[in-house]
Amino acid sequence: MMQRRPAMSDPRALTDRDVAQLAEHGISRDEAERQLALLASPPPPPELVRPATAGDGIAVLEPGRHQELTARYREARAAGRISKLVPASGAASRMFRTLVPWARYAGQAEAMAKEVSRRAVAGDPAAGDPVRFLSELPRFPFWGELDHAVAAGGQELETLRRRGEAGAVLHVLLHPDYLAYDARPKALIPFHRYPATADREEDEVRTAFEEQLVEAARLVADADGVARLHFTVPPEARGRIEAHLDAARRRFEERLGVRFEVSFSVQAPATDTLALDPETGGPFRLADGRLLLRPGGHGALLGNLQEVADGGGDLVLVKNIDNVQPEGVLDEVVRWKELLGGYLLELRGLARELLGRLETASEGACEEAERLLAERLGVRVPAAFQKLSEGDRRRRLAARLDRPLRVAGMVVNRGEPGGGPFWVKAADGTLSAQIVERSQIDETIPGQVRIFNGSTHFNPVDLACAVRSFEGAPYELASYVDPAAVFMAEKTHDGRPLLALERPGLWNGAMAEWNTAFVEVPEVTFSPVKTVFDLLRKEHQPT
């Protein structure tokens, strides 16, 4: 947790030039001043009460209920109520980060070997990555594309590999004049290779984007065979991704018997955030005096989710671009997505029924609503609710029931980095189920680290979301954000330190006021690709 900074002498010291620059991004002066105030005096961290565990905040769906839940989901899917949102704005730079420095050793195998040895002796855990990459090269799904690119330069990939010319191979893979894999959107990186079959003479290679389409064909296609997806993409790559979609349609629509209805959006410039200069206590400025505006993190995608909600369909499945499985395990992956969606539909049905009973002042409705919220919707209202008048109590419970709902899959924690499910206490005493990341907690507060480390499950960003009211109107999702649940981190820009601000995370603070249900899901549903070597895991290799 960041230490609190001294307050700026004047956190509102924005010039006319600043205001004009902000307006170009669609950022109001009030919003900029709000961000600067947060940077100057960070809000208190969440108060973790205990981890959510199986039976205490995490539902375990018994096998005897699977058929009923799946049937609910399939009925909604056939009616065209379901779409899929895939955050795909990121580049593949992190995937290849440890390999990029070695691309400059093209034609310098001996010098590279000495540097690898030097770094290994110095204790660099990534020192052996280029050697490992070269050794495992035939197992990567992009072997064929790399082979063609090397051949275009008059060389043979296998010859370079046997000679240990890792620098030459990485130069072709990563240099801007060649394949430039580290600059590609992760959506366009080949993830899986399928061996040739009797029906297919050549191996088939699929990108992460294509695998998301194949999954959607099974998961969201309605009775007319229409599969609706929405991808958030980097603006500079949108044309390239749209062209990739056109090619994918030709490959998969007829084969899978579907029609892909795909929309795209980019992260709006208005979601960029300011940074704090710790030396001046004011907004961080570039050399020319202009404000530094940084991407606002994945919480900036709330507007993209709103766009999907506004576009129709009341159920949205959310899954990151890099968490995608090969076809061999798709049956199990789809089955669990259907179960998450079916469970969401069941909960919405119960909430709707109770909402009607609250409106008619049915006897016992308040007690049943509180029980549903506590036992299945991740909200335990404070004791003060009992002191309200009957009418106020009904109105507040009705407002608590009629709001967005997320059902989040949770896998057993095996040491993956990231957030987990917890019971969190609000200032008014309300306990709610929240996804919390380690960077959000204050490690100096006694017991918080112990509670965080006691988490039994991990958040794989596997969500089923209800984004429309019971009357069918889209919820105003911005109304359910905890604006104080921002992320702050020490960063640098051109060698200068800064304090960066990110918006409340999409599945953290941006959904803090949603109703929430956590459901235990098997590990097979979670196989992210964070580094290129993750593609070598058994779940991404052809069977």
pLDDT tens sequence for the chain (543 residues): 444 444 444 544 799 999 999 999 999 999 999 999 999 898 999 999 999 999 999 999 999 999 999 999 999 999 999 999 999 998 899 999 999 999 999 999 999 999 999 999 999 999 999 999 999 999 999 999 999 999 999 999 999 999 999 999 999 999 999 999 999 999 999 999 999 887 777 889 999 999 999 999 999 999 999 999 999 999 999 999 999 999 999 999 999 999 999 999 998 899 999 999 998 889 999 999 999 999 998 889 999 999 999 988 799 999 999 999 999 899 999 999 999 999 999 999 999 999 999 999 999 999 999 999 999 999 998 888 888 899 999 999 999 999 999 999 999 987 766 789 999 999 888 999 999 999 899 999 989 999 999 999 999 889 999 999 999 999 999 999 999 899 988 999 999 999 999 999 999 999 999 999 999 999 999 999 999 999 999 999 976
Domain annotation for the chain: domains and CATH numbers: 16-92+272-540 (3.90.550), 94-183 (no CATH)
Rg (Cα) of the chain, in Å, rounded?
25
Quote the pLDDT of residue 95: 96
Q: Which residue has the tokens 């895939």?
A: 86
C-alpha 531/C-alpha 535 separation (Å) is 8
- Type and span of the H or E element at 489: strand 487-493
Quote the pLDDT of residue 384: 81
CB 354 within 8 A of CB 368: yes
CA-CA distances (angstroms) from residue 97 to 174, 183, 421, 442, 535?
A: 10, 11, 30, 29, 15
Please state, as a whole number, how many other Cβ atoms lie within 10 Å of the Cβ of residue 513.
18
C-alpha 342/C-alpha 346 separation (Å) is 6
CB 370 within 8 A of CB 394: no
C-alpha 499/C-alpha 502 separation (Å) is 10
Name every residue whose Cβ is closer than 8 Å to that of residue 438 and which is 6 or more positions away in sequence.
419, 452
| Torsion sign (Cα): 457, 461, 462, 466 | positive
Please state, as a whole number, how many other Cβ atoms lie within 10 Å of the Cβ of residue 271.
20
| Torsion sign (Cα): 173, 179, 182, 184 | negative
Instruction: Retrieve residue 163's tokens.
Output: 């000679």
C-alpha 348/C-alpha 453 separation (Å) is 32
C-alpha 361/C-alpha 366 separation (Å) is 9
Alpha helix ranges (H) inside 122-193: 129-136, 143-152, 157-162, 166-174
CB 209 within 8 A of CB 248: yes
C-alpha 194/C-alpha 177 separation (Å) is 29
In 126-282 the beta strands, taken as DSSP E runs, fall at 190-194, 204-207, 226-232, 259-265, 275-276
- Tallying the residues shown for the chain, one arrives at 543
Q: Which residue has the tokens 């499910």?
A: 421
Name every residue whose Cβ is closer than 8 Å to that of residue 401 and which is 6 or more positions away in sequence.
351, 354, 355, 358, 369, 372, 373, 377, 515
C-alpha 296/C-alpha 272 separation (Å) is 5
Quote the pLDDT of residue 543: 67
* pTM recorded for the entire structure: 0.92
The closest alpha carbon to 245, from 219, 207, 196, belongs to 207
CA-CA distances (angstroms) from residue 58 to 323, 375, 376, 457, 539?
A: 21, 10, 9, 9, 26
Instruction: Retrieve residue 333's tokens.
Output: 């992956």
Residues facing residue 516 across a β-bridge: 406
**251: Cα within 13 Å, side-chain hemisphere:** 16
Q: Which residue has the tokens 């300011």?
A: 274
Quote the pLDDT of residue 5: 45
Calculated CA dihedral for residues 530, 536, 540, 543, nearest 10 degrees:
180
Direct distance between the N- and C-terminal alpha carbons of the chain, in angstroms, rounded to an integer:
44
